[in-house]
């Protein structure tokens, strides 16, 4: 399931650039719409929340909290550069940073063998959570 989550996250990361680049080429005369960005933001939030819930159900709340945490990451790691002092992102905005969530998910995957899976976890209940195709 975490592999599906990672695949969906990578798809969302690539889909964002696609949606921005595929807009009307005549930007000067184009009508500006926030709809593609709003759709992307909603898909991203759904993916992060679903991944959080999966990790919490399969392992525990502490692991899920670590997934949405940016602790230990510098701005340079998250944004590719140090942010100017006047730029501030809220905790909610930071929670939904795709690069940070993908990085955490890869770290999490690397240490799965160290964790105990909740014996009551039902992987079948999560099958539809990471279906691809929304952004393809």
- Domain range for 51 is 2-130
Tell me what pLDDT residue 59 has.
95
- Asked if 117 and 60 touch (Cβ cutoff 8 Å), the reply is no
- What is the spatial distance between Cα 87 and Cα 110, in angstroms, rounded to a whole number? 33
Domains held by the chain: number: 1
Question: Is 136 a domain residue?
Answer: no
Tell me what pLDDT residue 132 has.
53
Tell me what pLDDT residue 100 has.
92
- What is the spatial distance between Cα 78 and Cα 94, in angstroms, rounded to a whole number? 9
Mean per-residue pLDDT pooled into runs of 10, the chain (136 residues):
90 64 40 70 93 95 95 84 81 88 93 92 85 46
Question: Is 94 a domain residue?
Answer: yes
């Amino acid at each position: 399931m975490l592999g599906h989550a990672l695949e969906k996250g990578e798809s969302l990361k690539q889909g964002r650039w696609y949606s921005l680049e595929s807009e009307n080429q005549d930007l000067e005369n184009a009508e500006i719409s926030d709809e593609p960005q709003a759709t992307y933001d909603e898909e991203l939030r759904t993916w992060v929340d679903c991944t959080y819930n999966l990790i919490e159900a399969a392992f525990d709340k502490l692991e899920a909290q670590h997934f949405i945490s940016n602790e230990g990451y510098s701005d340079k790691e998250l944004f590719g550069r140090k942010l100017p002092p006047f730029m501030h992102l809220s905790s909610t905005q930071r929670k939904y940073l795709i690069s940070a969530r993908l990085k955490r998910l890869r770290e999490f995957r690397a240490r799965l063998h160290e964790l105990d899976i909740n014996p009551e976890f039902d992987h079948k209940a999560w099958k539809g959570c990471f279906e691809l195709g929304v952004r393809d």
